[in-house]
Structure 1
Amino acid sequence: MQTTSLACCFLLVSLCFDFSQNETSAPLRKQRRRMRYRGLRSSSAGHGSPRMKLPAPVAVAPSIPLVNFDDSVMGVFDSLIGLGGHESSYSVLPGKKGHCTANGMIMYDKAVWSPKPCVTCLCSKGEVICDTTMCHPLKCPKTIIPEGECCPVCSDTASSLDSSIISLDDVSELSGDSPEPNDLDNANVLSPAPTQTKKDEQFGTEVVEFKEKESNKKDKKRKRKSKKNRQKSKAHYREKKPITRKDAAEEEIQDESDEDDGTFKMTSHFPIPVPPIQAPPLPSGCSTSDTTVSCINAKLTQIPPISDPDLTSLDLTGNSITTISDEAFNGIPNLEWIDLSKNNITSPGIGPQAFKSLKKLKRLYLDGNMLVHIPTALPSTLEEIKINDNHLHAIDEDGLQDLKNLVTLELEGNKLSEANVSPLAFYPLKSLSYLRLGRNTFRIIPQGLPATLEELYLENNQIEEVSEICFNHTRNINVVVLKHNKLEEHRIAPLAWINQENLESIDLSYNKLYHVPSYLPKSLLHLILIGNQIERIPGYVFGHMKPGLEYLYLSFNKLTDDGIDPVSFFGAYHSLRELFLDHNELKSVPFGIDEMRKLRFLRLNNNKIRTVPPERICKAHIIDDDHENSEEEENEESLLEHVHLENNYIKTRQLSPHAFPCIRSYCSVVLKPQKSK
């Protein structure tokens, strides 16, 4: 009965051979190919045991459909032999009709797999039917089994196939997951299965023995070519089979797991994520906003560890920080502004490389600390440095080296003098324009000032002299502040600054001047002489100035009527805008004010003035019949807007109605209160 069934199946297979090649659907072909490769893969790698070198992989044979007794297609086999294989002893799963189990794995009805090379199995209604590839006998003296096939061929034919021979190990790389090769041997037999004839069994045994002999001869050769042939097989496999997303993902994972000796390696497609290094949280009292961290009065004793490359501003004002280590700013290399004012930082507490890594730093504030010298190795990108109110007692010639981009330098409130500041200290500062050295102990103006200097502040020193060489190299100087020093007019050299072409503002307030200094710069616009002992304004003292003095402040001096000549303001009539003569000893309005056609602000308060005669502040205008002359006179009308005359001895009720004809609004004239004896 079994023989008859086998013959019928074989005849049916032969008749449907051509039909199956054209009509078999693509999904079934893909399923068959995956199951076959998975079976080959498992057959070459057991449970930790060495791989068995079988030289005969699955034969490349035409595909035929496997037809059930009800004429339904159950699967596809790669064999020219029908169902004449051995039936395996796989158990039927209870309660799941039609399912099979293989080494603990569930096989659904009609599932196809290859448990070992040249063997293909089918799950049919709960029973496992396996098919072993059978080979036809050959009549040749010498045979050989080419790699990639299950049956031997004559040696002459095999020589032409050497270029395509691959080992079983190489083919196994294309397989997927399947039961192990020894599953059939270890399974329990539950029911007898149909068998082949004795002749077929004997022939199959001889073939296996022949395969083993050939395998031993070529074992070393396969090892050398294993990796190269594996790559060829994969490439050939990709060309023959359309790859879907799912198949591609399975193949990538399978390829990575097929390394030598089964060693596990992480695929490069799925790198292990490295968790970000989180910086310690900011201390209490600190706040952050965009690119700024502010820790004002936060009771810090050290610079907090911060790691933020985007941070550009750090404000640590008003803490108790004493040291700055070399690594203090390593986590914030892009800082542009640091404020460390009002701390307890000392010079020994600053590391020699503390600021060296800050390649973008532009502003550094160290006011109100305990530094005795300027920190070393400051970045050359600095544009502004403030070290006011420290204990600096010296600046040597290397103290400010490499600061070629420095624009502003503030060193007020220290212990600097001409004795401890090198004449070459400011030489490296090729861009310096703003220098503050107030509240130090200079007795003369420092030497070696940069040629680029525009503003110099030396207030609250002990300067007694302005020599004729102190500004020789500063041709761009614009502002000089020398208030609260010990200058007298005869200690100012005639050639000290008279030839300066850009010097527009001089502040000589609170010195020891007795009259307005002569030989002032011809470019001067602002002259501040508040708080001296000036009794006199010499005639023509402003006559050489071009374009002319605009602001003259002589408040809190000792000017009297005799100290102001009719020509004292000569040279400033056409330019003066503000004139402060308050808090002096004037008894009358000085002559010449009515000639100041651009004057807007006049202060004469807190003097001893008793009256304001007509035409003393506002000039009388005689309107001519000539239209052009009257228009010219109108254009020359005073622009005076504010007049202060309070705290004098003026009797306001006795003032002439023509005292302020040029004032457009009387609310601009301040007359109250007045003093009385």
Structure 2
Amino acid sequence: MRKGGKMKALARIFLGLVIFDAAVTVPTPEPINYDSEAYDATVEDLDTLYNYENIPIDQAETERVMLSGNRELLTPAPLPGENQEEDEDEESTPRLIDGSSPQEPEFTGLLGPHTNEDFPTCLLCTCIGTTVYCDDHELDTVPPLPKNTAYFYSRFNRIKKINKNDFASLNDLKRIDLTSNLISEIDEDAFRKLPHLRELVLRDNKIRQLPELPATLTFIDISNNRLGRKGIKQEAFKDMYDLHHLYLTDNNLDHIPLPLPESLRALHLQNNNILEMHEDTFCNVKNLTYIRKALEDIRLDGNPINLSKTPQAYMCLPRLPIGSLV
């Protein structure tokens, strides 16, 4: 037993020496310095300090996505093995946040399409929902409008001409107000192809002739212009079955533009050159029981016409026209 005890003691001593030798040979790690000099250390310095394995650079890259207002959104680039079917040209093209390209002509973006001066319309004007306000901005042309524009106001500017492409493809447009400009010319197709246009206001301009208008209109105001004998096409308002208000005051008209739709409620023709009126202007002389209930507001004051000469012309109306009876 004594011999066995001596062997165990020797074994323990030998094992202790081996452990001690191993502990002495292990290098002591250098402490990490967090003072101000090392706090902004580069990634390469930290890699050397911690002896990290090198990470492939294409996994650490990010691509920049341009936003309106010169902001940038950083998104991680695809990892190796992911779908990368786009060619290099497409990858190098800057993309907006919705994925479209700023070079695309149909792009409207957050600030609307760009004007001829490469300036966004909604930065030049004020866009609230589907309404665009461009009042009093010294504009000489209609600016490019967002495709969803429903109401457009560009009053008190210097616009001289309405081109056929100014409102092209604006299928949601319901109201156009170009009051107090310098408009003297309007292309024939400027308004005709707008499927939902309801209100057209062109008062206080220099318009001599109206183009063909869409039959969807309910409100028309072309007061204080230069419309004369040939300024309004024959039967221009005949098919406007929803037209309620027609304002043609302060022009050079010498006649009432007929026929007028049954839906008409207000007709203002004051301060023109209307000389005469026929018995069938408003009523149907062949049907004495015909009553025109809707037309309650007719203004003919300021014209060289004597309304008392044609009393049969008002028999079907709920109210007499306002004008001279002498």
TM-score bracket, shorter-length normalisation: 0.5 to 0.7
Q: Which residues of 2 match residues 594-633 of structure 1 at below 5 A? A: none
Aligned to 1:366: 154
Spell out, residue by residue over 1:166-208, the C-alpha distance to the aligned partner (whole angstroms, 9 max, x if none). Answer: xxxxxxxxxxxx998xxxxxxxxxxxxxxxxxxxxxxxxxxxx
Larger radius of gyration: 1
Counterparts in 2 of 1:494 and 1:328: CA distance versus 1, 3 Å: same
* Alpha-carbon offset, residue 528 of structure 1: 2.0
Spell out, residue by residue over 1:482-508, the C-alpha distance to the aligned partner (whole angstroms, 9 max, x if none). Answer: 1111223xx212212214452221011
Aligned to 1:421: 210
Within the alignment, does 1:446 sit opposite 2:232 as a pair? yes
Q: Are the equivalent residues in 1 in contact too, given 2:162–2:187 (CA < 8 A)?
A: no
Aligned to 1:497: 282
Within the alignment, does 1:435 sit opposite 2:216 as a pair? no
Counterparts in 2 of 1:399 and 1:84: CA distance versus 1, 3 Å: same
Q: Which residues of 2 match residues 87-486 of structure 1 at below 5 A? A: 87-88=21-22, 90=24, 102-104=28-30, 262-263=55-56, 309=110, 325=117, 327-329=119-121, 335-347=129-141, 354-355=144-145, 358-375=146-163, 376-378=165-167, 379-417=170-208, 420-422=209-211, 425-426=212-213, 429-444=214-229, 446-447=232-233, 448-449=236-237, 450-451=239-240, 452-466=242-256, 470-472=258-260, 474-486=261-273
5+ long unaligned stretches in structure 1: 11-80, 92-99, 107-177, 181-256, 281-306, 313-322, 536-677
3-state SS of 1:90 partner:
helix
Residue type of the partner of 2:244? Answer: E
- TM-score (ref. length: structure 1): 0.31
Counterparts in 2 of 1:478 and 1:324: CA distance versus 1, 3 Å: farther
Counterparts in 2 of 1:87 and 1:275: CA distance versus 1, 3 Å: farther
Counterparts in 2 of 1:276 and 1:366: CA distance versus 1, 3 Å: closer
* Alpha-carbon offset, residue 439 of structure 1: 1.3
Residue type of the partner of 1:507? Answer: R
What is the distance in 2 between the residues matched to 1:395 and 1:440?
13
Spell out, residue by residue over 1:521-549, the C-alpha distance to the aligned partner (whole angstroms, 9 max, x if none). Answer: 624336322xx3x23xxxxxxxxxxxxxx
State which of 508, 511, 536 in structure 1 corresponds to 2:303. Answer: 511
Aligned to 2:79: none
5+ long unaligned stretches in structure 2: 33-48, 72-107, 285-291
* Alpha-carbon offset, residue 509 of structure 1: 1.2
Q: Are the equivalent residues in 1 in contact too, given 2:314–2:320 (CA < 8 A)?
A: no
* Alpha-carbon offset, residue 455 of structure 1: 0.7
Aligned to 1:7: 11
Q: Are the equivalent residues in 2 in contact too, given 1:457–1:481 (CA < 8 A)?
A: yes
* Alpha-carbon offset, residue 401 of structure 1: 4.0
* Alpha-carbon offset, residue 456 of structure 1: 0.6
Aligned to 1:527: 321
Q: Are the equivalent residues in 2 in contact too, given 1:464–1:487 (CA < 8 A)?
A: yes
Residue type of the partner of 2:262? Answer: R
- TM-score (ref. length: structure 2): 0.60
State how many pairs are aligned. 249
Residue type of the partner of 1:476? Answer: S
What is the distance in 1 between the residues matched to 2:274 and 2:68?
62
What is the distance in 1 between the residues matched to 2:19 and 2:70?
69
Higher RCO (Cα < 8 Å, 6 or more apart): 2
